[in-house]
Amino acid sequence: MPIKTQNLRVAKMQELTTPAELRAQLPISEAASLTVEGGRNAIQRILKGEDDRVIAVTGPCSIHDTEAALDYARKLQALRVECADTLEIVMRVYFEKPRTIGGWKGLINDPFLDGSFAINDGLLAARELLLEINEMGLPVGTEFLDTAVPQYVADLVSWAAIGARTTESQIHREMASGLSCPVGFKNGTRGNIQIAIDAVRSSAQPHHFMGLSEGGQAAIVGTSGNPDCHVILRGGEGTNYDEASVDTFCYTAEKDGIRPQVMIDASHANSGKLPERQPEVLANVGGQIARGDHRIMGVMVESNLVAGAQKLGGEGPLVYGQSITDGCIDWATTQDCLRELSDNVRQRRGALTRKAS
Ligand SMILES: O=C[C@H](O)[C@H](O)COP(=O)(O)O
Ligand SMILES: C=C(OP(=O)(O)O)C(=O)O
């Protein structure tokens, strides 16, 4: 009789809702599908240089309270309409957090914030929120971390990110090669840009891998490759948002055969994890744009209703609209920064017109 050699450290296994079941419960509406298609098309045109606007992915570090997220979305949608001529504003709606060591891993993993890990409820809450935001006309960007998640929600996502900790991972590049939306790859946590360039090249190719079918069966997935991938500079051991860093990145990108274009993350290592530094980063990046730089096609901002961050599990109730992961800038500051960026895009147009005449 063989001794037990399997699942020795698996404490629990519970059935997961299938993607088809979740989608039947919360089907995409016509209004939401139009927002997704419009958002993806706009981003694709910006990536191809057919639209001179700048993508601005802005929103909380992570979603932990869907009511607060909807409040934020209503404000952002008004700003999106105001800045439509210069910016393609997309709400950052992050449900999955890649932790350096440990901590809360996001709304899908632990929606009740209490270690109950009710993932079926987390998927439901995520899909419900994505539907509501899209129905407002506001496109959504998210990070995909668990490779099973896209089958549940990717039809409601206009732009996706692969994080600094997973850009080098083959399974994330395979996943990106099959996503229907444009995808940004962050440089590595130590600042390595080559892994992000390699990721863009890898994801443009077709791949075959093991995945999940609509019906929740294990499946062999074949993809056609994603031509709409790009790099996001997020800093590393130092910052990499300045002109010299953009030059270095674009030189390397062109040498490796990818488009010399980039999104700049104003947060993470580019702000030294100090949220109050994000406006300074955005002003620098906006200055580069105003002076005529067309290589910077997007920015990312960690922003919430209330500035800073709070500890999950601290004394008293959570502050409404404040991050429980990385610190964010508040809504008023976000509005000022994006309006300034919008002016910078106009200045770039003016500079080009002056040059041409
Ligand atoms: O954006 C979020 C965080 O920077 C990332 O998830 C890592 O967080 P941690 O270092 O607090 O775990
Ligand atoms: C985790 C994130 O960023 P990074 O992968 O750059 O650390 C994030 O944007 O939430």
Q: How far is the CA of 268 from the centre of ligand 2 (A)?
A: 7
Phi and psi (nearest 5°) for 37? -65, -45
Considering the four listed CATH numbers 2.60.40.10, 3.20.20.70, 3.40.190.290, 3.30.2270.10, the one that applies to the domain covering 26-307+322-347 is 3.20.20.70
Kindly provide the b/e burial profile for residues 62-80, where b requires at least 16 CB atoms within 10 angstroms of the residue's own CB. bbbbbebbeebbeebbebb
Span from the CA of 123 to the centroid of ligand 1 (angstroms):
21
Confidence at residue 353, expressed as pLDDT on a 0 to 100 scale: 73
Of all residues in the chain, what percent are helix, strand and coil, respectively (each to 5)? 40, 15, 45
Nearest residue by C-alpha to atom 7 in ligand 2: 164
Residue 348, C-beta contacts closer than 8 angstroms, at least 6 positions apart: 52, 289, 290, 291, 292, 293, 294
Compute, in angstroms, the gap from residue 164 CA to the centroid of ligand 2.
Answer: 6
Quick one: which ligand is closest to 165's CA? Answer: 2
Residue 252: its pLDDT value, please? 98
What are the backbone dihedrals phi and psi of residue 132, each rounded to the nearest 5 degrees, phi first?
-65, -40
Name the residue ranges covered by the structural domains of the chain.
26-307+322-347
CA of 98 to the centre of ligand 1 (A): 6
Closest ligand, as measured to the CA of 166: 2
pLDDT computed for residue 110 by the predictor: 98
Most ligand 2 atoms within 8 A of CB, residue of 104, 144, 159, 165 to mutate: 165
174 CA to centre of ligand 2 in angstroms: 19
CA distance 68 to 60: 10
Closest C-alpha to 17, from 143, 125, 130, 133: 125
How far is ligand 2, taken at its centre, from the CA of residue 292, in Å? Answer: 28
Cβ–ligand 2 contact at 162 (below 6 Å): no
Residue 315: its pLDDT value, please?
Answer: 86
Atom number of ligand 1 nearest to Cα 98: 6
- Cα(236) to centroid(ligand 2), Å: 11
Residues in the chain predicted with pLDDT less than 50, given as ranges, are none
- Strands annotated E in the chain: 54-59, 87-92, 140-143, 159-162, 183-186, 208-212, 218-222, 229-233, 262-265, 296-302
* Model pLDDT, residue 356: 73
347 in Cβ contact with 290 (< 8 Å): yes
> What pLDDT shows up at residue 190?
98
Whether residue 102 has its Cβ less than 6 Å from ligand 1:
no
Q: Which of 232, 325, 328 to mutate to test the pocket of ligand 1 (most atoms within 8 A of CB)?
A: 325
Q: Cα of 294 to ligand 1 centre, how many Å?
A: 30
pLDDT tens digits for range 86-100? 999 999 999 999 999
How many residues comprise the chain?
A: 357
User: Could you report the predicted ipTM of this complex, rounded to two decimals?
Assistant: 0.96
Q: Quick one: which ligand is closest to 99's CA?
A: 1
Residue 103 alpha carbon, nearest atom of ligand 1: 12
* pLDDT for the residue numbered 351: 79
The DSSP output letter for 326 is S
What is the CB neighbour count within 10 angstroms for residue 243?
Answer: 15
Q: What is the pLDDT of residues 171-230, one digit of tens each?
A: 999 999 999 999 999 999 999 999 999 999 999 999 999 999 999 999 999 999 999 999
